[in-house]
Amino acid sequence: MNWRERIEKNIAIVITAVFALVIGIAGISMIPDNRQEIKELKRIDYDCEYQDPTYYEMKDFLAFDRTNLNVGGRYVWSWYTCIDSANDVKRNALEKGIRCTGVIIRFGNAENDHAVVAFQTTDKGVIFIEPQTDEEVEVVVGMRYFKDNDLKDWVADDFDDTITEIEIYWPK
């Protein structure tokens, strides 16, 4: 990474941190109503061959995929959202011949959803990934997504992040 890329990355991190602080102080949830963007997540598919990876192949792909570095790896409301991150990881995986899918997580608050990705690994089954950080996460109906996955600083304290529904869109 050259000096210009480092400066741009640091500026993005600072802007994101200030934005998150302002949103947090205001007590606003950082998850907008994004149901229209879900259509894009469902639509991404390619007419090419892709396969389910091994767990190691998935981790190797994530190590080289740079999506989690977009905007310093943080969500920027109304500009680069969880749907954008999920779309980018899915698109990049499919272009590499790795089957990956978008996952929509619905919460008790009916106006807000969250997007992650999943890989059907050949040796460890379905693995859910938070595309903004490349971390493995649990996604189970009834659990508290952000709080139980130690992502509680991503949303306001009063946000109901109880998973009520999970929609998975496997490519054909």
Using one digit for the tens of pLDDT, what is the confidence trace for 12-61? 554 554 444 444 433 333 444 444 445 455 555 555 678 999 999 999 99
> For every one of its 172 residues, what pLDDT tens digit does the chain have, with 9 covering 90 and above?
566 655 555 555 545 544 444 444 333 334 444 444 454 555 555 556 789 999 999 999 999 998 877 755 455 555 678 888 898 899 899 989 999 999 999 988 667 788 999 999 999 999 999 998 889 999 999 999 988 998 877 777 778 889 999 999 776 6
Whole-model pTM? 0.71
CB count, 10 Å around CB of 6?
10
The rounded Cα 157 to chain-centroid distance in angstroms is 20
Q: Which CATH class is domain 3-169?
A: alpha beta
Domain locations in the chain? 3-169
d(CA 71, CA 36): 22
CB atoms within 10 A of CB 25: 8
